[in-house]
Amino acid sequence: MALAVMCSGGDAPGMNAAVKKFVDYAFDKGEEPYLVFDGLEGLIDGKIKKAEHKDVAGILHRGGSIIRSSRSKRFFEYTYRQQAYENLKKYNINGLVVLGGDGSFRAMDRFSEDFPINFVGIPTTIDNDIYGTEYCLGVDTALNTIRDALDKIYDTASTFNRAFVVEVMGRECGYLAAISAISSGAEICLIPEVDFVLPTIEEKLLREIENGRRYVLAIVAEGTKMTGEVAKWLENRIGMDTRVTILGHIQRGGVPTTFDRMMGFEFTVHAIDHLCRSKEMNKVVVWNKGEFGLLDIDTVVSNKNQVNPHHLAMLNVLD
């Protein structure tokens, strides 16, 4: 069997671990591994190469993806999907492992409606917003990157009588912001899933400042679009000199943690095992309660992920 791997959408730490395991494990299983470069765009343009062990040697410690990634508007046109399918047929590829997020899975779902392609998705996004899985590849590294930045910001915040507003990624999901706020001891956390109760927090902060608080850390999820508003509120209502830090794309990069390397291995092994053993098509590997499983792509893309209520309850600053 000829199998291919590709990355799609935003990059995430751990992609290279998954790509390496894909090549090594495919060879172990007696299958022919192929690499698709540049994601969906590369699939359309036929950037497909038969893999060798040397292609993935020494890549575990690297962030990003050696086979690169892309987002593609062309892929949503039937002509280009057909072109992509013909490229796979040219190499007799009958199984595809896709490292990506919600948008990538929707694209593959559309692809599979038009052509008999069997794929398995590996949830790979620092946003951790894929339905049906507690964990997506890259999240642990991103959280550690945010933690490191917040620890440094705390150093300077505690030196001055100052507030810091830190915006983190996550699109419409507040997972990164929530976990970062809990683990850093932030005083304020704004996420799309919870209403920001301004009067309650204002009263609490003013009381704490009167009792000696010298600094404030606010974590804001990008999906709230309230970073600037929170900064103005801290300046005008709380009366603190305020600085804004937007962490941006540093959250996507960096050396993957041990956990993300191991999860990259495990996700990939389950994906290849399914392609080799089962006739059921178009699945997503998921991880829940410490165990791996598979969900139909239709189930994944037709439902919306929710932040764990237990984590929401731990954000007592929002009470």
So where are the chain's domains? 2-138+256-303, 139-252
- Least confident range of 77-81, 111-115, 295-299, 307-311: 307-311
The arithmetic mean of pLDDT across residues 260-272, rounded, is: 98
Helix (H, G, I), strand (E, B) or coil at 99: strand
Q: Is the pLDDT of residue 120 over 80?
A: yes
The confidence band for 197, taking pLDDT boundaries of 50, 70 and 90, is confident
Residue type for 183, please?
S
Q: Is the pLDDT of residue 319 over 80?
A: no
- Least confident range of 105-109, 187-191, 192-196: 192-196
The confidence band for 317, taking pLDDT boundaries of 50, 70 and 90, is very low
CA 283 to CA 270: how far, in whole Å?
Answer: 11
2-138+256-303 matches 139-252 in fold: yes
Q: What is the mean pLDDT of the chain?
A: 95
Q: Is the pLDDT of residue 170 over 60?
A: yes
Res 316: pLDDT: 61
The arithmetic mean of pLDDT across residues 227-246, rounded, is: 96
Name the percent of the chain lying above pLDDT 70: 99
Res 161: pLDDT: 87
Handedness of CA 190, 193, 196, 200 (dihedral sign): negative
CA 12 to CA 10: how far, in whole Å?
Answer: 7
User: What are the CA-CA distances from residue 291 to residues 17, 22, 283, 294, 310 (Å)?
Assistant: 19, 20, 16, 10, 19
- Least confident range of 1-5, 10-14, 95-99, 312-316: 312-316
Q: What CATH number should be reported for the domain whose range is 139-252?
A: 3.40.50.460
CA 303 to CA 133: how far, in whole Å?
Answer: 12
Nearest by Cα to 73 from 109, 103, 49: 103
The arithmetic mean of pLDDT across residues 293-309, rounded, is: 94
Q: Is the pLDDT of residue 123 over 50?
A: yes
Res 24: pLDDT: 98
The domain defined by 2-138+256-303 carries CATH number 3.40.630.30: no
The arithmetic mean of pLDDT across residues 142-157, rounded, is: 96
Q: Is the pLDDT of residue 252 over 80?
A: yes
Name the percent of the chain lying above pLDDT 90: 90
The confidence band for 279, taking pLDDT boundaries of 50, 70 and 90, is confident
Q: Which residues are catalytic?
A: 127
What 294-302 contacts at long range (C-beta under 8 Å, 24+ apart), as own/partner pairs, is 294/120, 294/270, 295/132, 295/133, 297/105, 297/108, 297/109, 297/112, 297/119, 297/121, 298/109, 299/131, 299/132, 300/105, 300/121, 300/130, 300/131, 300/132, 301/102, 301/105, 301/106, 301/109, 301/131
Segment 35-90, tens digit of pLDDT: 999 999 999 999 999 999 999 999 999 999 999 999 999 999 999 999 999 999 99
Res 318: pLDDT: 43
The confidence band for 230, taking pLDDT boundaries of 50, 70 and 90, is very high
Its pTM stands at 0.95
